Structure 1
């Protein structure tokens, strides 16, 4: 009887947190939630606010795991990691990471915490990497990756999030003693270094091509695929952008990789082909009509949805042809859920629209923030929508 009750309790806990969002772009690194019981038409009065929490500067994303919310923010002098209660917004712990990164386009951290089991991995804009306890913020290990690997900080601060594959933490500091690095996630011990690529602003993804499991990373001047066990580069394709600002996360689908950058670059679809165990990369198309400055696109039913600078667009994944364009959000961001996208404009307007290639169909709007910059992509977890600007996080009820 006791064993049966324990099983029921464990199953209940699993169900409670089955729709967590533990890292940048969610569990699958796609920016698309698998939740179904979500409101897809909003009331005229807007969504119900569950709680608000004061934060500080920065554009760090929001991760949610096991009833806790994790993000980074800056105060007057330092950058901090913080954990909040997902139900109430109460601060459970705060951990100082390092000195505040200051920049004309905004101070503070840019990366997103990565939750793995009972640990959360965080990195400041100045390269202060730490492994912390999700329970109380206690530090297990830490280092400054810029100092350790002899790297100069990039112009707008380290922005890629810590990326966990099996027992490894992968990152791209772009240093003289380590361009792409792999650390033991439990101890911080260096396992290998690879490549000679400058640091980008993007977070990697994983993919399996021809039976070969690999990591795909958007560095400062290349998109590369490598084996996580030893860092061996198995394919690469050059992609040069002004100031090395390759920031948007790549999208992998059916042996193709979509990349996009701002400034004078644009987008490309790269086909990966396996012959005799070797992978070759060939660009099928490029276009200047989709430039993801910093906000990553999402894929739905063979169509890309994302921001071309200040305009929201839908384009065909296979051909790159434009389907529709929508203005009004400025430099916005979006997350996919239940055949819809939730869009946050940089001026604080929040909207929901259908993920369809025929035309832009909006099904709800609310002016959430006013007079502030919103460059952080929203997060959906367990029926709750988390949105932040540079001073506050708001939790909204999006459950049916």
Structure 2
């Protein structure tokens, strides 16, 4: 019986090994661990297995148990959308949670709810669904937190951050991807004393709330282990904070005034170093104490300009740290390599983003697979490249999606892809596609 149980455990693990069930992948670290993936693209690009029509949104897809989950936006008929994407109006419409068959793209179920938008950049929801244990949790751009049955779409519980917690919709909407920690669902909420809120993942009951700030920001929480302690790292526009994930108690906090609340890229941990980057206010790197939950500032960038940058000024893309080096996209599309210990810049290249000119907010998402990287840029290209302290080496490139989001005054794809089942799943504001990357 014990042998059979072990076999069943290993078999079940194998079934789920290829999923991409949340923001940044299975371990929330931007690493795709599947093998048997192409070395470079075939002529004409990878075969697209299916396409499915969807609405607008920045939400990346999640792939789990043979299904694809994502969110989109349906604008109400005759609704007036501000011509200036920075303007905040009242835009009636609905948000949808969609569940598709991963093999065919056909719709299995959808859940739609009324949602009037009040934020700038109103194309659609931001947060990637989180799937685990037969449930899917979603967070809409106006602060609607839902827990649904992953098989049927039935709503099991919900919360409204604005009506229940007094949170105000951030300038660019609620964007912090919820984090699952055992029985706790950890959320970036907002409101007095509730920048961070933990809910019971099954019942929706509030377990604790913590932190005050003038706005919650947009960064996704992470959990690290340092100083012999599990720590919840939550970065809002006034401070970097470490909390006890079980209680919300603050372990340590480091003040950091971030312009326009732009705490977007997910913090990255490498050994005992914790790295952050922001569009206007450069980067900070903290050294974590080995014996207790504390941190000291190791180095920080000195530039507060989006143009005259020094270390790394990322707007959207989460950097990747490998072998003591940081790889990330700076404020105008410069893919850069920095020394982790000092922040010293070794090189930069525009090849992965614009191919030449500096463009404000130009972006590419960085995902590691084996000894190379997949870069999904805002032009709808998927690139295979090697990144090292010596430079950027492009291996192959395929154009997979049409840029459709015009919020930044040019068409872009600003949705993080998912990698599962030896495929890539990418979306714009019109369709989601599945393309095979199997060798």
TM-score tier, shorter chain, comes to over 0.9
Match of 1:376 in 2: 415
Tell me, in whole angstroms, the C-alpha distance in 1 between the residues paired with 2:139 and 2:424. Answer: 24
Aligned with 2:325 (options 284, 303, 306): 303
1:323-362 correspondence runs (5 A): 323-328=346-351, 329=353, 330-362=362-394
Deviation sequence 1:322-367 (CA, Å, 0-9, x none): 2322214132222221122211221222211013221111111112
Secondary structure of the structure 2 residue equivalent to 1:147: helix
Alpha-carbon distance, 1:102 to partner? 5.7
Instruction: Confirm or deny: 8 A CA contact 1:235 1:281 kept in the other structure.
Output: no
Match of 1:385 in 2: 424
Alpha-carbon distance, 1:158 to partner? 0.1
Whether 1:112 and 2:134 are equivalent positions in the alignment is no
TM-aligned CA distance change 1:9 to 1:212, over 3 Å: closer
* Aligned-pair Cα RMSD in Å: 2.1
Aligned with 1:210 (options 215, 224, 227): 227
Tell me, in whole angstroms, the C-alpha distance in 2 between the residues paired with 1:280 and 1:345. Answer: 34
Structure 2: which 5+ residue stretches go unaligned? Answer: 76-92, 303-309, 354-361, 405-411
Instruction: Confirm or deny: 8 A CA contact 2:141 2:175 kept in the other structure.
Output: yes
Match of 1:22 in 2: 21
Which stretches of structure 1, 4 residues or more, deviate above 4 A after TM superposition?
6-13
Instruction: Confirm or deny: 8 A CA contact 1:101 1:109 kept in the other structure.
Output: no
Alpha-carbon distance, 1:84 to partner? 1.0
1:225-264 correspondence runs (5 A): 225-262=242-279, 264=280
Match of 2:183 in 1: 167
Deviates more, 1:164-173 or 1:329-338: 329-338
1:3-22 correspondence runs (5 A): 12=11, 14-22=13-21
Instruction: Confirm or deny: 8 A CA contact 2:178 2:188 kept in the other structure.
Output: no
Tell me, in whole angstroms, the C-alpha distance in 2 between the residues paired with 1:71 and 1:186. Answer: 20
Question: Greater share of strand residues, 1 or 2?
Answer: 1
Instruction: Confirm or deny: 8 A CA contact 2:403 2:428 kept in the other structure.
Output: no
Structure 1: which 5+ residue stretches go unaligned? Answer: none
TM-aligned CA distance change 1:349 to 1:280, over 3 Å: closer
**What is the count of residue pairs matched by the alignment?**
396
* TM-score between the two structures when normalised by the length of structure 1: 0.93
Tell me, in whole angstroms, the C-alpha distance in 2 between the residues paired with 1:9 and 1:91. Answer: 30
Tell me, in whole angstroms, the C-alpha distance in 2 between the residues paired with 1:281 and 1:379. Answer: 35
